[in-house]
Amino acid sequence: MLYFSGTGNTRYCVSLLSDSLGRKEIPCPIEKKEAVEVLRSHEALILAYPIQYSNLPDIVRVFIEQNRECWRGKQVFLMATMGLFSGDGTGVAARLLKKYGAVVTGGVHIRMPDSVADVKTLIKPEKENRQIVAAAGEKVRRTAERIKQGKMPRQGLGVFSHLLGLFGQRLYFWNAAQKYKNALKIDTKKCMGCGQCAACCPRENLFMNGKIPHQKGNCTMCYRCISACPAQAITLIGKEVVEQICIEKFL
């Protein structure tokens, strides 16, 4: 199992799926060096990731493309986590993987708490997020049972889902999402210079110059640094942090 997770939603779901399937190995984050070896050494894989504006996070797309020669003949089941809507969340990866010779065996969409911590309208009450996580857990367990029976779900893989994702969000937000690669806002007056943001960034987009973090223009919009900053000094889409999000708050 390979996955990418920003604030822990996808990590939680893929770990629960692994446990429900009785797997012994720990799912591997794609930003780790050993992820490529996991990809090369297994014929059947589960790839899990969050959806952003009905599209793949840039880090996931790059991982698939940089390892294009490894996908040929692989059987891949896709898991996409989402805040509310994704349309073809699994389909966006499926089409890319098929291009490189993979066989997509199925897919599932799992609704989880939204990780966008600096947009007030996306922040839900803790009780509601706990209910969302509980429902997600049940869906993951049902998915595991279907996989065991060989009855693979195929959410997000059809033509109708493709159209929903394309016209529902992707066409409108594509250019907007691209600009966020270099759009982190760091409040130097609040920043403590602790370096936690740079340490947790999955793409090494942030680095410390003295006691001030700087960015390289390679943000994948995972919100990991924003939710980890003890001073709430980092924002991306909004102007201030409304609530820092991590999966542990809702378990």
Q: Show Cβ contacts of residue 34 under 8 Å, excluding neighbours closer than 6 positions.
A: 28
Element (H, E) at 3: strand 2-3
Task: Give Cα separations from 104 to 26, 71, 130, 153, 231 (angstroms).
Answer: 22, 10, 31, 11, 43
Q: What is the pLDDT of residue 169?
A: 82
Q: What does the alpha-carbon distance between residue 45 and residue 229 come to, in Å, rounded to a whole number?
A: 33
pLDDT computed for residue 131 by the predictor? 97
In this prediction, residue 92 carries a pLDDT of 96
Cα distance between residue 23 and residue 79, in whole Å? 16
Q: What is the pLDDT of residue 31?
A: 97
**Distance from the Cα of residue 199 to its chain's centroid:** 18
pLDDT at 171: 80
Per-residue model confidence as pLDDT tens for the chain (251 residues): 999 999 999 999 999 999 999 998 899 999 999 999 999 999 999 999 999 988 999 999 999 999 999 999 999 999 999 998 889 999 999 999 999 999 999 999 999 999 999 999 999 999 999 999 999 999 999 999 999 999 999 999 999 999 988 888 888 777 777 788 899 999 999 999 999 999 999 999 999 988 889 999 999 999 999 999 999 999 999 999 999 999 999 99
Q: Strands 206-209 and 212-215, how do they pair?
A: antiparallel
Domain(s) labelled CATH 3.30.70.20 in the chain stretch across 181-250
The CATH architecture one would assign to domain 181-250 is 2-Layer Sandwich (3.30)
Cβ atoms < 10 Å from Cβ of 95:
13
Contact predicate 88/82, CB 8 Å? no
Strand, helix or coil for residue 190: coil
φ and ψ at residue 114, rounded to 5 degrees: -70, 135
Q: Where in the chain is the domain with CATH 3.40.50.360?
A: 2-176
pTM reported for the whole predicted model: 0.94
The CATH number of the structural domain formed by 2-176 is 3.40.50.360
